[in-house]
């Protein structure tokens, strides 16, 4: 089980339990800014809805092209540290309320569509955000480029997923043009 520490540990107790953060070492200034905005968003929601909400566990280990994810049953939020670093202002302003609305929706309405009417209403009325299901950040730095394979035609790229299937012996791939079985290119 992950060790957690309380992010907000001042003498004045917040209205609800503080945000729980995965203990992964020191957090960057951007991560601390995100956590502060997350707390601000929860306070706005509590004031507007006249109801207290438990603070989620927050992690910064999300990889890939997703900016954030909400795990409803675990009351947990995960954020992509690379996309946060590359797009700090818009990430904090848009992704944090987006993911919080998923958790609030689950608490208020139970099982509903992830980006349904209830979620959209919370986005608009609580945070004055246009409900959007996807972000528009560049994902070039977090998109895998693939693994090089060779055939008689030249070099081809296989996705990481297909490459892993080859490594496990689950699949073999052939070139569509020449029909030759692909062989992994030698590294360096």
Closest CA to 137 of 100, 86, 178: 86
Helical (H) or strand (E) element with 70: strand 68-71
| pLDDT for res 188 | 56
Neighbours of 176 (CB within 10 A): 9
User: Is pLDDT of 7 > 90?
Assistant: no
User: Is pLDDT of 49 > 70?
Assistant: yes
Handedness of CA 176, 182, 187, 188 (dihedral sign): negative
Point out the residues that are catalytic: 99
| Average pLDDT for 15-33 | 70
User: Is pLDDT of 20 > 70?
Assistant: no
pTM over the 0.75 mark: no
| pLDDT for res 104 | 98
Domains assigned to the chain:
4-127 (3.30.2010.10), 147-184 (no CATH)
How far is Cα 123 from Cα 72, in angstroms, rounded to an integer? 17
């Amino acid at each position: 089980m992950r060790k957690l520490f309380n992010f907000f540990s001042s003498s004045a107790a917040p209205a609800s339990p503080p945000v729980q953060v995965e203990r992964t070492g020191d957090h960057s200034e951007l991560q601390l800014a995100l956590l502060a905005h997350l707390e601000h968003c929860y306070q706005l929601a509590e004031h507007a809805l006249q109801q207290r909400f438990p603070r989620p566990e927050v992690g910064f280990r999300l990889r890939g092209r997703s900016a954030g994810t909400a795990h409803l049953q675990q009351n947990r939020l995960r954020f992509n540290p690379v996309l946060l670093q590359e797009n700090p202002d818009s990430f904090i302003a848009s992704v944090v309320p987006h993911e919080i609305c998923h958790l609030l929706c689950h608490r208020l309405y139970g099982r509903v569509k992830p980006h349904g009417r209830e979620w959209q209403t919370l986005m608009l009325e609580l945070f004055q955000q246009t409900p959007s299901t996807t972000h528009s950040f560049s994902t070039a730095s977090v998109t895998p480029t693939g693994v090089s394979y060779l055939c008689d035609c030249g070099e081809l790229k296989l996705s990481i997923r297909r490459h892993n299937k080859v490594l496990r012996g689950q699949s073999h791939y052939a070139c569509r043009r020449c029909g030759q079985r692909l062989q992994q290119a030698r590294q360096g």
